[in-house]
A and B are shown apart, each in its own frame.
Chain A
């Protein structure tokens, strides 16, 4: 399903990160970075909540708004019961929690855009966070275990990103969005998320192009959320072979967030809901403000699974939501 918007604008963003993201090529674009993964708290989970609180406070400060001015927050993360978002946004605005795994960033943007376009609210904050250590614990191994990771694995980004959407005119607007479908291609390796999520990115991209009657050249840049370097190749190859579409203007946020040559620890690239947000809300947002990029399609991919069902031999499903951002001329 593709929805079009006429009245939804991007007003401001904020990004708070951990140490690895700061050392990456986009380090200078972030508002604040912590030097260690505890972020001054006693546990990794509390550290993630600190990241959320910081990014919300920075966003409110940057856009000269008080807590009372915010109509709605839509947020998601990877912790059990999405607690980083709920604890972090306590006391600010009405709240909707979403879980789309790593696709939460776009999912929350779509929900807010719908509310604004429908005239129900004037503004809303899309909020996402993830934390490398808490998600390792959640989806793979206990942090104390120190398990080695294969080269296909991606590295969950640490940070929190906020985006203020409203009906106040600005230079960048939300143009359309395409909701994702759940895809199951019988993959079950939690250390190879790129392969799991690439099919859903391809599916949503194709449906978006079909629904809107556009070619890929319509966009200055097409970005996937966190497929990593192998997932990126899969998307390129498949689009070429199956649909004869050459993706020249395509990149992946997981590949952009880190320097894959220097930061070997990240293996195939970044992942997590905040991975895409950190790239879009900082670097891409700046480029769009300077009108260096005019039309950007943003496909956030998410792997939907629980470790419990994986032990019971179920597959990992995936989903991908797309949102199109446009510079207002």
Chain B
């Protein structure tokens, strides 16, 4: 069942993105940032974690999970180091993603050319 939920949730996020793109003047950049903020917002109230429990990977794949990881990292570090921990921990959980993007992009640009 988790596979179905996962598929439906991820598809739902994409559907929202497509509807916004088709009906407003917002650009893909706007939508991406908006989803990060929404993910962060939902995680602040522990809602995103509950979603992850139900739908699994389908909630971790879309960009909303980036916002979720930002808040997670910030809050867990804040527990140990207080206010300053908010800033220290922000990129703890997301570092893997960011570094992976940079490293893989580098290697792929060595091999491939941009196409239309």
Contact = CB atoms under 8 A, between A and B. Distances in A.
Partners in one complex: yes
A177 to B, nearest CB: 35
B116 A132 contact: yes
Given A148-B21, A150-B22, A37 B28 contact: no
A133 B22 contact: no
A144 B116 CA distance: 9
Interface in A127-147: 132-133, 141, 143-145, 147
Contacts of B25: 188-189, 191
Interface string B99-116: 000000000000001111
Contacts of B96: none
Contacts of A144: 114
Contacts of B22: 150-151
B27 A147 contact: yes
Interface string B13-28: 0000000011001011
Given A147-B28, A148-B28, A37 B21 contact: no
A150 B25 CA distance: 9
Contacts of A44: 114
Interface residues of B, number: 9
A185 to B, nearest CB: 15
Contact of A150 (B21, B113, B115): B21
Contacts of B27: 147
Given A147-B27, A147-B28, A133 B21 contact: no
Contacts of A151: 22
Contacts of B116: 37, 132-133, 143
Interface in B57-85: none
Contacts of A145: 28
Nearest to A147: B28
B96 to A, nearest CB: 22
A148 B113 CA distance: 19
Contacts of B28: 141, 145, 147-148
A144 B113 CA distance: 9
Nearest to A136: B116
A132 B27 CA distance: 19
A174 B27 CA distance: 43
Contacts of B115: 37, 143
A145 B27 CA distance: 12
Nearest to A18: B116
Contacts of B21: 148, 150
B51 to A, nearest CB: 25
A297 to B, nearest CB: 33
Contacts of B113: 38
Nearest to B23: A150
A150 B23 CA distance: 9
Contacts of A37: 115-116
Interface in A90-141: 132-133, 141
B13 to A, nearest CB: 15
Nearest to B27: A147
A114 B114 CA distance: 42
A101 B111 CA distance: 34
Nearest to A151: B22
Interface string A15-56: 000000000000000000000011000001000000000000
Given A132-B116, A144-B114, A191-B25, 5 more contacts: A38-B113, A133-B116, A143-B116, A148-B28, A151-B22
16 contacts: A37-B115, A37-B116, A38-B113, A44-B114, A132-B116, A133-B114, A133-B116, A141-B28, A143-B116, A144-B114, A145-B28, A147-B27, A148-B21, A150-B21, A151-B22, A191-B25
Interface of B: 21-22, 25, 27-28, 113-116
Interface of A: 37-38, 44, 132-133, 141, 143-145, 147-148, 150-151, 188-189, 191
